[in-house]
Structure 1
Amino acid sequence: MQLNTDRRVADSLPTSWVDHAPEALRPYLRLARYDRPIGFWLLALPGWHGLLLASIGVGLSLQTLWYAGLIALGAIAMRGAGCTYNDIIDKDLDAQVARTADRPLAAGTVSLRQAWIFLIAQCLVGLIVLVQLPLPAIIVALVSLLLVAAYPFMKRITWWPQAWLGLTFNWGVPVAYVAVAGQIDLALVALYAASVFWTLGYDTIYAHQDAEDDALVGIRSTARLFGRHSPFWIAGFYALTALFVGLASWLVAASPWFVFGYALYTIHLFNQVRRMDTDKGAVCLAVFKSNRTSGVILVAALALAAWLG
């Protein structure tokens, strides 16, 4: 079968290294979203949050750095695999939505067979990363496969696919926490809950880019459900995020110095609500991408708390 030539995807970076990669590789790099690195950050950051929360009272070490590197590599491999799987399931829907019509499978720059092979290759990389972790963390990680497998179908059956994404995308929190602490406790549950509400907020912002097209093809989302009331809902989600992060830090007796980073993190979250405009897709995309900064602020605050013991 003759495949179409490479196409840039609507919400990729204006220019990236992907555009200069060998032409034969570009569709695969776009399929794994290497031209949209924000997703790698948003998958890795919860893992780093869980790792650092578990390190409070234990301290930072070379093992912490090793786990942080594994989380980063695992996030790259599994985010790419997740996007590939999602596009395999959604290729017909993607072709009907302006923002996603140029994705490799929808545009015909990658065949379905090639996509499955690429998916398996990425999963093998993820498996190599996974087996470097302690057995309890491996077991916890494997549970996420059920969440990942079901995610692409959620937009067809519920108005809350962002909630399912929150459960799925933040599974790095329990994996990393258990790798260090060796147990599931209330601090872990609190941080995971915070992360789920964080995703509910930022992915609702993201979904406003597609609200009109989604309505035409029958895709459900919290953006469509909330409509112009989305800022109020997102403010509520971010309030719960801040509340549960604070609870998690209290449960592990974090250093009082954590409060300064925590305050900055909370301010950054609510500034997103102030900046967003449900009628302007470009603004929603920019606000969504700013969550990398939110996550990095929390990493810095937790790292300081872990360092100070």
Structure 2
Amino acid sequence: MSDTSDQGQVADAVKGNWVDTHAPTALRPYLRLSRADRPIGTWLLLLPCWWGLTLAVAATGFRPFDIWIALGCAIGAFLMRGAGCTWNDFTDRDIDGAVARTRSRPIPSGQVTLRGALAWMVAQVALAALILFTFAPAAIALGLVALGPVAIYPFAKRFTWWPQLFLGIAFNWGALLAWAAHTGALTWPPVFLYLGGIAWTLFYDTIYAYQDVEDDALIGVKSTARRFGDRPTPWLRAFAAGTVLLMGAATLVALPVLPAMVALCGVWAMGWHLAWQLARLDIDDADTCLRLFRSNRTAGLIPLPFFAIAALL
């Protein structure tokens, strides 16, 4: 399929992104299918991995292999986010064609065939598997189990008002996996970290869902945004509080007192960022919702230097 530098751009992609300006023309539709032109999703998948790894290092000490775990998680997050988005767009092709914001995506717009999309998804999963199989057996097992939530998520909006919960289950799995890759087993700290990540996903993806609430109502797609209506603030406040409390519990259980106090400062600072988002939320302004959603890359990065400092103590 032909594609010039500006043809085929997805509606909610940042103008002038690297896919639309620098990627090989033949690859652009597939990279758009993987949301490579919208990297926020890769960050949101990666950050819980790095939380789990840095907290594990703070709890048990640094090992040289941790450098590969961090890099492998980054590459794997890019690949699995791409594979998940490909699967999501494959299953949602009819829904996406009926929503203004998503009808420009590669499958409903005709840039990528269904067969091409499935082949692209398999290729991404295969490459991610090569990375996964370098980790500890417990992490490999967790990575394989994670395919279940990834496969189920696109269908959640059809049978529950809480598809954001299913997204949280899938997107924060890396907190468990990275901890297991470092330690070889699971304990309570990564579980608390994982649950805190789910609360965070409920927060940011509800904000994201308000962009499509009118179209979703017309076509019968469910979301927490539709469930909460024009009164999301109490729910979002509860999700933000849950994020802080559960991540805080992870640090307190994992670390001695002084490192835990340092790590808690990072969790507390992240909580203030979520409060900042909530204060600026306008659910009737799609641009504001998208901007606040994207700001969660910054929110999720905030705890990392504090966890890293805690690892040095």
Shorter-chain TM band: over 0.9
- Look up the match of 1:98: 100
Give per-residue Cα distances to partners, 1:57-115, cap 9 Å, x unaligned.
Answer: 32234322211000000000000000001111010110000000000001011111111
Superposition map of 1:164-243 within 5 A = 164-243=166-245
- Residue 307, structure 1, aligned to residue 312, structure 2: yes
1:109-128 C-alpha deviation (Å, 9 max, x unpaired): 11111111111111111111
Q: Which residue of 2 aligns with 1:264?
A: 269
- Rounded to whole Å, the distance in 1 between the matches of 2:52 and 2:26 is 38
- Partner residue of 1:11? 12
* Structure 2 length-normalised TM: 0.95
Aligned to 2:24, the other structure's residue is in SS state coil
Tell me which moved more, 15-24 or 141-150.
Answer: 15-24
Tell me the amino acid that sits aligned with residue 42 of structure 2: F
Count of aligned pairs between the two proteins: 307
Tell me, yes or no, if structure 1 residue 67 matches structure 2 residue 69: yes
Q: Which structure 2 residues correspond to residues 283-302 of structure 1 after superposition, within 5 A?
A: 283-302=288-307
| Distance in 1 between residues matched to 2:188 and 2:155, nearest whole Å | 31
1:113 to 112, 115, 128: 115
Q: Distance in 2 between matches of 1:49 and 1:225?
A: 30
Does structure 2 conserve the Cα–Cα contact (< 8 Å) formed by 1:60 and 1:307? no
CA–CA separation in structure 2 for the residues paired with 1:304 and 1:115: 43
- How do residues 18-57 of structure 1 correspond to structure 2 at under 5 angstroms? 18-20=19-21, 21-57=23-59
SS in 2 for 1:106: coil
Q: Structure 2 counterpart of 1:305, which letter?
A: A
CA distance in 2, matches of 1:307, 1:83: 37
**Which runs of at least 4 in structure 1 moved beyond 6 Å after TM superposition?**
2-5
- Assess if the C-alpha contact under 8 Å between 2:251 and 2:264 holds in 1: no
For 1:130 and 1:289, locate their aligned partners in 2 and report how far apart those are by CA, in whole Å. Answer: 27
Q: Is 1:79 the equivalent of 2:84?
A: no
Q: Is contact 2:3–2:26 with CA below 8 Å preserved after alignment?
A: no
CA drift at 1:3? 7.8
Gaps of 5+ in 1: none
Aligned partners of 1:261 and 1:193: how far apart in 2?
17
Q: Runs of 5+ in structure 2 lacking a partner?
A: none
Deviation at 1:222, TM superposition (A): 0.1
| Conserved? CA contact 1:101–1:107, under 8 Å | yes
Question: In the alignment, which residue of structure 2 is the partner of 1:136?
Answer: 138
CA RMSD of superposed structures (Å): 1.4
Which amino acid in the other structure matches residue 165 of structure 2?
A
In the alignment, the residues of structure 2 paired with residue 292 and residue 231 of structure 1 have an alpha-carbon distance, to the nearest angstrom, of: 21
Give the deviation of 1:260 after TM superposition.
2.9
Tell me how far apart the structure 2 counterparts of residues 159 and 206 of structure 1 sit (CA, whole Å).
15
Contact 1:190/1:245 (CA < 8 Å) preserved in 2?
yes
SS at match of 1:10: coil
2:152 is aligned to: 150
User: Aligned with 2:229: secondary structure?
Assistant: helix
Whole-angstrom CA distance in 2 between matches of 1:228 and 1:10 = 25
CA distance in 1, matches of 2:59, 2:165: 32
Task: State the percentage of identical aligned residues.
Answer: 47
The 10-residue stretch of structure 1 (228-237 or 192-201) with the greater mean CA deviation from structure 2:
228-237
TM-score by length of 1: 0.96
SS at 1:164 equivalent: helix
The answer on whether the counterparts of 1:3 and 1:110 sit within 8 Å (CA) in structure 2 is no
